[in-house]
Amino acid sequence: MKLLFQTSWKLAPLFLLLLVGTAVTTRAQGAKLQLDQLDGLANKASETVDVRLDERLMQTTAKFFSGKDPDDAEIKEVLKGVKGIYVKSFTFEKDGEYSSAEVESVMSQLRSGTWSKVLSITSKKGGENVEVYLNLIGDHINGLAVLSIDPKEFTVVNIVGPIDLEKLSKLEGQFGVPDLGIEREKPKKKD
């Protein structure tokens, strides 16, 4: 019994490390949406965008931004904490080529846990809807999800990792991330 107790104490730091590592991994995975169920829409869509940049690919991609160009340096800074960028976008020839069940498969994930809706734009005339969700852990943004639901288009953008909303606009137009409508600070003109 004494030997078991001594062995347990020696292994306690290892178990604690594993527990902390699991908690950090679970936290990051909580911001990653499961989007594979949407893959079948590619067969119906006239145009498909599918971006899957996990943490390893994000680190590799960040190396391509030299930092010499001010825009490259800003994008590289934004990418530092990002654990992944996932985009699924489908454009269809006709209305109704995707079902509400496919939309619901994403929405149900956003209704649970730590996701909070921060923006909703609805157009009754055009049928376009945009919703923006943040994954919050305490006061920290751990992820972002944007859904754009249009009669002929369905897009989901999921950015995983700590996000600075002021810097996020730099990712618009990069890595398949569409224009999210985030206002950029305009440079002041010199007199």
| 135-165 pLDDT, tens digit each | 998 888 999 999 999 999 999 999 999 877 6
- pLDDT-based confidence at 125, cuts 50/70/90? confident
- pLDDT-based confidence at 5, cuts 50/70/90? very low
pTM, two decimals, is: 0.70
pLDDT at 191 over 70: no
Those residues with Cβ within 8 angstroms of residue 113's Cβ, 6 or more apart along the chain or in another chain: 30, 135
